[in-house]
Structure 1
């Protein structure tokens, strides 16, 4: 007898299946990075070609392309061509530029995990393989771009390259892979494992997924209202200071190419200005240079700010007026929206015309509102941190909202106003449940009204019974496959459990005849 060698087919099959998936994912990451660089290259080279007096050749323009691409990922740049010779940091990331690599990474993650619709096609790529391949391919191009940019006038800070570039790549690709897999809730609940069991049961309860999902949606809606309200404040202030904004726009450059570049830069910084205005409405305000704080109570902008249209929209120096205090309406509306989202999830309606039912008690609704306030605080702190940064040394070392104050302020507004809103809307939505309850003495005392039995009121065919069948109680309807048992939520099978025939009277069995 000879011993048979173990087959290597399973291992070779796994390697064969994984290798194409990993290589395709790497290619998706490389293509995403290349598309981002190519988009910025078309824009910058077009402006360089149309400029009547370019300062450098094609090499300098390509260095600017890679610098802008790295800046779009949150990488801080260092400017070396200064009058004093000392390098100056440049860390304000235009948030509109951040949307470009984020969207490309999201699409790359989705494409990497798309399964073939053909029966004989390759198996779906595992989640980790797709995500890792996209991230590694993207970081390979990003590292090469950082090396190329290090020889120009705008050089990347390698500490920020090692921190910000992998963070953006991992987040964007992870969002794409998660969306392609149907947005499962399990990855979002992994962080809850770090919370101790007793605390987790008290805060989140048994339905942790529903509470966390509601809090995230409510916090996202509140943050959207805050940023949208901030954009409205920026637009109103720009119109109010329209003459100063126009003068600063015309003062920066004279040619149409330069003015178009200034216009594009202003549009890229509009989301930053919206976040700054949201922090202004929340109370902490924003900093325009070291020691120069601007908030609704007082405005103290730096005296030597460079001319720029968005900076012309800054409130005038001096104490705030009632017009400045009216900006507080933005967080009020955002907190009400967050409370309404929580109350809508706390009370559900079974169906059209059916009374609502309470999903969460008052205590649980309060807990979800506090969880929403925490999520909103984290989200606003992250936006504030990304929207600001340094523009130089000394007085220009600090620009933007203080994230350690903006986040807690957003959480405090949401907790103080969102909680009473959620409880009030919850009570208002439950009013139909009390109004729909029938009185107990209905039909009593008249002698003419017959009270229906429990089975007859529930059965859908009770009105079609014959007089001979009314003596037998009806059986409740059978739920259809997959039904939850609550009327109005799932379709019911309206067929009765058995035919409506009269049963023989109960009694001793008849004697058998031979």
Structure 2
């Protein structure tokens, strides 16, 4: 044993420079890797889908390289990049700028997830939990990476993959527009990554408050609450936007069902193989959000354009140019003047305006309904001016978001006539603002006025309320009320018992203080308290039932005794049970109790 050297598992401490580099580099490096992985996963998902469709196609137009070029072009189209088709029948380039909005969810989700993972630090913070003996704390959480570091890393990593993908797609049939690619892809990466980092840090309200600093002081609380949650106007705008988009999707579904034969015929004419029809159906599903925006624009009045000078609206529809057979285009209304069936689409913005007004009015009168502010302080009923401003601001926010969606949902589909395809964003925004402002503001003021109206005392009461009021009045006049329930007896209830229980405690607490029904019956059978002031039960028992039993008096507490039974009454004593004490209590038999055996015999 003398030659055995004892060794420990003590880990050598790192130098301060290495510690600082280890603390800083994993955040940036992790963000770069996360952004590159997010872009790679998006490209891979599109490549797998396009490759499967190419393999199943009976008449492929190109080889595997062409399919991969198309996949890269579709990935860029999902970001809103405008594509240009080179080999057209006319020989010129034809733009294709209608991006399926559902495809945008793929890069946004991947960027959001990568930003969250980069902010959490992953496994890079595990070494920071080691102590000087190399023991790792299992429950220690990795430190969060600074928001700016994580955001920068994810954006740069994503763009580092997007640039080669755009260069590769430029060699195919569908080539990206470099101006559009240089704007749309960075914007999507910056916004989606910022939302992911903000969500990973607990959605703080500081960055949003700083971004809203240009707004007036009275408007900022309506957009963002002090605790960081969306304000009243923002929530009302979201509700109105949901109604508009849902109503637009419903209009498209109803029109598509009415033109079901034409939609089916267009699907069968467009392609023959099942793989081609499956691809067309997938494209229709990806264009469902676009169709919902188009339907909302149609309901608002401006409608949408099926080419330059060919507008489709509820009042009138111009004859559309020759369009390719596509199932969703079969839902377009026929050309000509609008009918009452087409005018019925105006109920969608009407319902949206009512919804916005009700949301604002609900927050305006929250204090009148017992609501509180987020900090626990009692709320204050809004004035009519503030309610109107909140409804107007909600209308502005909803119109702005819908105008942005209308700009994304349309674009060119060719040259000449097809350079304008879809709704015009500024017309949709103006129409939405007019509809919502004209409907939401009066609705909010009307609902606020109705809910803040004080109740009238002379309103007629229903039957149950009249019976209860009359019963309380009889209790005041009679002193006590007895009610029977089955074979047992309920406790005596004085007038105002419910009010007393509400002030001093609950009814259950009163029952526990007074015991069960048999004990109460024995106490009441013994008679009322004796004393010079026993003629006024309200003075002897000033507290309600919930306050506890009355003090022991001669002939009452002692008469009940510990056994809970009433003492024997002298038959020669004058008066009947419950009488002879100043007339404060009426006869027990008058309330339905059986007389004593000595009196019934």
TM-score above 0.5 = yes
Tell me what 1:155 maps to.
Answer: 175
Query: Would the alpha carbon gap of residues 421 and 30 (structure 1) be closer, same or farther in structure 2, given more than 3 Å must change?
Result: same
Question: Which of 144, 148, 163 lines up with 1:128 in the alignment?
Answer: 148
1:32-43 equivalences under 5 Å are 32-43=38-49
Kindly indicate whether the alpha-carbon contact (under 8 Å) linking 1:17 and 1:123 is maintained by their aligned counterparts in 2. Answer: no
- Superposition deviation, residue 24 in structure 1: 1.3
Query: Would the alpha carbon gap of residues 371 and 212 (structure 1) be closer, same or farther in structure 2, given more than 3 Å must change?
Result: farther
Kindly indicate whether the alpha-carbon contact (under 8 Å) linking 1:288 and 1:301 is maintained by their aligned counterparts in 2. Answer: no
For the pair 1:201 / 2:221, whether they are aligned, the reply is no
Please give the alpha-carbon distance, in whole angstroms, between the structure 2 residues aligned to 1:76 and 1:206: 37
Tell me what 1:363 maps to.
Answer: 385
What SS does structure 2 have at the residue aligned with 1:194?
coil
For the pair 1:112 / 2:132, whether they are aligned, the reply is no
What SS does structure 2 have at the residue aligned with 1:155?
strand
Kindly indicate whether the alpha-carbon contact (under 8 Å) linking 1:189 and 1:209 is maintained by their aligned counterparts in 2. Answer: no
- Superposition deviation, residue 205 in structure 1: 6.6
- Superposition deviation, residue 73 in structure 1: 0.2
Query: Would the alpha carbon gap of residues 271 and 351 (structure 1) be closer, same or farther in structure 2, given more than 3 Å must change?
Result: closer
Q: Deviations over 1:471-495 (max 9, x none)?
A: 9xxxxxxxxxxxxxxxxxxxxxxxx
Q: How many residues align?
A: 447
Kindly indicate whether the alpha-carbon contact (under 8 Å) linking 1:380 and 1:406 is maintained by their aligned counterparts in 2. Answer: yes
- Superposition deviation, residue 131 in structure 1: 1.5
Tell me what 1:321 maps to.
Answer: 339
- Superposition deviation, residue 333 in structure 1: 0.9
Tell me what 1:378 maps to.
Answer: 400
- Superposition deviation, residue 104 in structure 1: 1.5
Please give the alpha-carbon distance, in whole angstroms, between the structure 2 residues aligned to 1:162 and 1:435: 66
Tell me what 1:220 maps to.
Answer: 238
Instruction: Point out the more displaced range, 12-21 or 63-72.
Output: 12-21
Q: Deviations over 1:124-162 (max 9, x none)?
A: 111111122111111111111101111111111111111
Question: Which of 45, 50, 57 lines up with 1:51 in the alignment?
Answer: 57
| Structure 1 segments unaligned to the other structure (5+ residues) | 1-7, 437-442, 472-514
- Superposition deviation, residue 191 in structure 1: 2.9
1:334-483 equivalences under 5 Å are 334-348=352-366, 349-350=369-370, 358-431=380-453, 434=455
What SS does structure 2 have at the residue aligned with 1:89?
strand
Query: Would the alpha carbon gap of residues 435 and 114 (structure 1) be closer, same or farther in structure 2, given more than 3 Å must change?
Result: farther
Query: Would the alpha carbon gap of residues 435 and 15 (structure 1) be closer, same or farther in structure 2, given more than 3 Å must change?
Result: farther
TM-score calculated relative to the size of structure 2: 0.68
- Superposition deviation, residue 208 in structure 1: 5.9
Q: Deviations over 1:414-465 (max 9, x none)?
A: 111111121222233334x6569xxxxxx9xx999999xxxx998879x99x
Question: Which of 210, 232, 247 lines up with 2:265 in the alignment?
Answer: 247
Query: Would the alpha carbon gap of residues 180 and 370 (structure 1) be closer, same or farther in structure 2, given more than 3 Å must change?
Result: same
1:52-131 equivalences under 5 Å are 52-114=58-120, 119-131=139-151
Tell me what 1:257 maps to.
Answer: 275
Please give the alpha-carbon distance, in whole angstroms, between the structure 2 residues aligned to 1:130 and 1:450: 69
Kindly indicate whether the alpha-carbon contact (under 8 Å) linking 1:30 and 1:134 is maintained by their aligned counterparts in 2. Answer: yes
Please give the alpha-carbon distance, in whole angstroms, between the structure 2 residues aligned to 1:435 and 1:172: 54
Question: Which of 309, 312, 316 lines up with 2:330 in the alignment?
Answer: 312
Query: Would the alpha carbon gap of residues 396 and 378 (structure 1) be closer, same or farther in structure 2, given more than 3 Å must change?
Result: same
Kindly indicate whether the alpha-carbon contact (under 8 Å) linking 1:276 and 1:401 is maintained by their aligned counterparts in 2. Answer: yes
Kindly indicate whether the alpha-carbon contact (under 8 Å) linking 1:289 and 1:399 is maintained by their aligned counterparts in 2. Answer: yes
Please give the alpha-carbon distance, in whole angstroms, between the structure 2 residues aligned to 1:205 and 1:176: 24
Instruction: Point out the more displaced range, 186-195 or 166-175.
Output: 186-195
Please give the alpha-carbon distance, in whole angstroms, between the structure 2 residues aligned to 1:11 and 1:381: 52
Please give the alpha-carbon distance, in whole angstroms, between the structure 2 residues aligned to 1:20 and 1:148: 30
Please give the alpha-carbon distance, in whole angstroms, between the structure 1 residues aligned to 2:365 and 2:85: 56
What SS does structure 1 have at the residue aligned with 2:213?
helix
Please give the alpha-carbon distance, in whole angstroms, between the structure 2 residues aligned to 1:407 and 1:430: 33
| Structure 2 segments unaligned to the other structure (5+ residues) | 1-13, 127-137, 373-377, 458-472, 480-493, 511-538, 544-601
What SS does structure 2 have at the residue aligned with 1:306?
coil
Flag the structure with larger Rg: 2
Instruction: Point out the more displaced range, 211-220 or 359-368.
Output: 211-220
- Superposition deviation, residue 19 in structure 1: 1.0
Query: Would the alpha carbon gap of residues 252 and 345 (structure 1) be closer, same or farther in structure 2, given more than 3 Å must change?
Result: same
Please give the alpha-carbon distance, in whole angstroms, between the structure 1 residues aligned to 2:223 and 2:301: 35
Please give the alpha-carbon distance, in whole angstroms, between the structure 2 residues aligned to 1:172 and 1:162: 16
Tell me what 1:478 maps to.
Answer: none
Tell me what 1:278 maps to.
Answer: 296
Q: Deviations over 1:237-276 (max 9, x none)?
A: 0111111111111110111111111111111111111100
- Superposition deviation, residue 335 in structure 1: 1.0
Please give the alpha-carbon distance, in whole angstroms, between the structure 2 residues aligned to 1:113 and 1:343: 39
Please give the alpha-carbon distance, in whole angstroms, between the structure 1 residues aligned to 2:379 and 2:221: 19
Question: Which of 173, 193, 197 lines up with 2:193 in the alignment?
Answer: 173
- Superposition deviation, residue 203 in structure 1: 3.9
